[in-house]
Every structure is written in C-alpha cells, then in structure tokens.
Amino acid sequence: MSEEPLLKVQAVETYYGNIRALAGVDVEVHRGEIVSLIGANGAGKSTLMMTICGSPQARRGQIIFDGTDITQMPTHLIARRRIAQSPEGRRIFPRMTVMENLQMGASLDNLKYFDTDVEKIFTLFPRLKERQHQRGGTLSGGEQQMLSIGRALMARPKLLLLDEPSLGLAPLIIKGIFEAIKVLNKEEGLTVFLVEQNAFAALRLSDRAYVMVNGQVTMSGSGKELLADPSVRAAYLEGGRH
C-alpha cells in the first residue's frame, strides 16, 4: 500500500516509573483495515492502546495519526482528532442509562448527527434499543460491551480502538460482537485496531495482525498467515477458545 497509514506507531517506548512496558513498538494501521494485536496477559497490549490515546504518553518514539504527530498531545485533543476507544473492562457509566452513556460519547461539535447515530447503533445492537432507559450497571456483560462500543462510535471515529471486547463473554455473544465489528468495517469502512487474548476470533476477523511478547512485536502478517503459523498456533491457539 502506497498511501500513508492512518496510524503509524514507530519505535514507541512506554514506561510505568522505571519499568519499560513497551520496548520499541512498530505498528501500522491503514484506512479501512481491521488490524489486531494478540498476545498473552501482561504483554503490553493495553499499554499500547492507552499510549495511542496519550495516557500514559510514550517516552520515546513517535505516533502519527492521520498525518499529525500526536505523541505528546493531551488525551482530549487526541480524542478530538477522532480516535475513539472501548477500553479494557468496558468502563461504561453504571449509574447512567444506556441513552445517557451514548450521550457521553457524542462529541459536542457533532450534535446534529446525534439522532441518526443513535439509530445506527440501535440497528447494529437492537438489545441496546430495548434497554435504552435501563442503567448501564444492570446490563449483562455482552450488553455492556455493546454499549462501550456504541459509546465509542458516538464520537464518529476515524479509528476505533477495542481492548479485549470478548473478555469474559460467552462464545455466542462474542460471535455477535465480532460480527458487528465486521459490519461496521464492511458497511461503514470503519478502521479498527483490536487488542485480544482470544487470538482465534481476532485473527479470523482481521486483515492483518501483530503478535506482542514482553512489550515488543515479535511477528506480523495477514490474519490467515498467523492462523496457519505453527508457533502462533502452539502459543495462542491450541487448546484456546474457539
């Protein structure tokens, strides 16, 4: 691909105090792609996602988004450039209703799209429509994940970051969530960067993927290539969830 990537992470290092969690990470996400990052617990996946959003900030290296260097930008300005995140653990507002959670995700300069966007999200996740007046905290895990994604979509992102959307959900629910991600990508052309421990589901969905071990990318390729790779199979797929 000759076009500049939408997101370019270059030699990024992120620290927690003296501990280096990211040790020189290079990742690219092109427009229209679904890219996943797989790796064991503690590999640094969430740290990369959070570093892209500016908290914590990278100590070294560079993050270019849509032609702009966002490495040292404060989080709210990064969000305004339309990177939206569904963070690990979902972090919906439990005391607010589904509708209020969606309102929280809408950016103020896009309020004219509010009704249309809510309708789109309700079409994608009909369960949320049924539960629009229910408090977030009373939803099931799968519904909370839908709400977390829906809230991120309200920002009309150019890039959607998803951190472990399948975590703790039943296989059938995971299938529905991944199907929705595919629909967003195919029908809206949404670019998605997905972090997952559920390697099988992530690789099947992705155009390309990266493997992270101890804060470094050790492998990359198409989703198909990595699914077929013996070392990936041994480390992340054999006996894993299907």
Residues binding ligand ADP (CB under 6 A): 16, 19, 21, 39, 41-47
Name which of 58 and 212 has its Cβ closer to Mg ion: 212
Report the alpha-carbon distance of residue 118 to residue 170 in Å, rounded: 26
Name which of 46 and 117 has its Cβ closer to Mg ion: 46
Footprint of Mg ion (CB under 5 A): 45-46, 88
Shortest distance in whole angstroms from residue 85 CB to ligand ADP = 13
Q: How many CB atoms lie within 10 A of CB 123?
A: 11
Contact partner, 43, from Mg ion, ligand ADP, none, Cβ < 5-8 Å per class: ligand ADP
Name which of 2 and 41 has its Cβ closer to ligand ADP: 41
Shortest distance in whole angstroms from residue 21 CB to ligand ADP = 4
Q: Which residues 6+ apart lie within 8 Å of 154 measured at CB?
A: 102, 103, 104, 105, 106, 107, 114, 117, 118, 121
Contact partner, 172, from Mg ion, ligand ADP, none, Cβ < 5-8 Å per class: none
State phi, psi for 109 to the nearest 5 degrees. Answer: -80, 0
Name which of 19 and 172 has its Cβ closer to Mg ion: 19
DSSP assignments along 192-213, one per residue: EEEEES-HHHHHHH-SEEEEEE
Report the alpha-carbon distance of residue 139 to residue 146 in Å, rounded: 10
